[in-house]
Amino acid sequence: MFDKPGNALLSPGDFVRHPGRPDWGLGQVQSMIGHRITVNFENAGKLVIDGNVVELEPAPSSSADRLRR
């Protein structure tokens, strides 16, 4: 399904970071359809990421705590 195998481990609700765009901040996976991953980033809004091109980095749960406040 993905050329970047780490993306196959993601699920909606998971918190991630885009490795090439740290300025986007923390993101939460909204949906995954085919190779398209919709992520809502704190500084860039909702974006669709091509999971065959970019391997998103899982964020530690401690990072996600600040978004829940």
Instruction: Give per-residue pLDDT as tens, 11-52.
Output: 999 999 999 999 999 999 999 999 999 999 999 999 999 999
- pLDDT band at 62; cut points 50, 70, 90: confident
Q: Which residues contact 13 (CB under 8 A, 6 or more apart)?
A: 28, 29
Q: Looking at domain 5-58, which of 3.40.30.10, 2.60.40.420, 2.30.30.30, 2.60.40.10 is its CATH number?
A: 2.30.30.30
Choose among 55, 48, 54, 39: nearest CA to 6: 55
Domain ranges (residues) in the chain: 5-58
Q: pLDDT at position 67, please? A: 63
Q: pLDDT at position 22, please? A: 97
44 contacts 24 by C-beta, under 8 angstroms: yes
